[in-house]
Amino acid sequence: MQEFRTLTGLVAPLDRSNVDTDAIIPKQFLKSIQRSGFGPFLFDEWRYLDHGEIGMDCSRRPLNPDFVLNQGRYHGAQILLARDNFGCGSSREHAPWALFDFGFRAIIAPSFADIFANNCTKNGIVPACLPGETVDRLFGEVAASSGYRVTIDLERQQVITPGGESLKFEIDPFGRNCLLQGIDEVGLTLQHADEIRAFEARRRQEEPWLFS
């Protein structure tokens, strides 16, 4: 997993509450368990005018011109601005896979579904919680200014606006630590690989009947 410390990126606003994981990556794409290749199908039912299936060439599909991510001013956005309860619904890890593969590295919202937020921190995405009134103001600023960019400073847990205002965000401490180090739970366990091997060798000597 890529470590995350600071990022300055274009913000794309998704002005919808209770966006569930089936909207983020619909169920027909869950047939694959590869972590890559889901970006073209992110928000599939909203981005396209036809029905998507895994393996389709999305470059030939008709786009929904009204959907925010299809608007030129938000192309290349790395930070998603969202509303309450983002990532609710099923616990599919494909949702952060699709967001990451599309290019998002952080999501700002008033609240996230717990499992989704945990899955984000395991896959290199910062789920940054800001108060609802602050998020409201950011939506207004993004709409009023083309090319609106903010800086996400994970070490200080701050969103820094173009005007230099620092907004303190909340994030799970364990997830934050994993993002800063660029490791998930498996990586954390492997940091103790020598101790694990030593324990296994000692147990084989002390209790050999377990290995016969």
Q: Domains, the chain, ranges and CATH?
A: 6-181 (3.20.19.10), 184-212 (no CATH)
- Could you tell me the pTM of the whole model? 0.89
Q: How far is CA 45 from CA 62, 72, 107, 174, 195, in A?
A: 11, 19, 20, 33, 49
Contact indicator for 105, 126 with CB cutoff of 8 Å: yes
Strand, coil or helix: what is 164? coil
> Which strands form 106-109's sheet, in the order they lie side by side?
126-129, 106-109, 79-81, 6-13, 149-153, 158-160, 166-168
pLDDT for 119 equals 95
The pLDDT profile of the chain, 212 residues, written as one tens digit per residue, is 888 999 999 999 999 999 999 999 999 999 877 778 999 999 999 999 999 998 899 999 999 999 999 999 999 999 999 999 999 999 899 999 999 999 999 999 999 999 999 999 999 999 999 999 999 999 999 999 999 999 999 999 999 999 999 999 999 999 999 999 998 777 777 777 888 888 888 888 888 888 87
How far is the first Cα of the chain from the last one, in angstroms, to the nearest whole number?
A: 38
Count Cα atoms within 13 angstroms, Cβ side, for 36.
1
Closest C-alpha to 109, from 167, 155, 68? 167
Q: How far is CA 24 from CA 18, 67, 150, 162, 209, in A?
A: 11, 13, 23, 28, 51
pLDDT for 157 equals 98
pLDDT for 4 equals 95
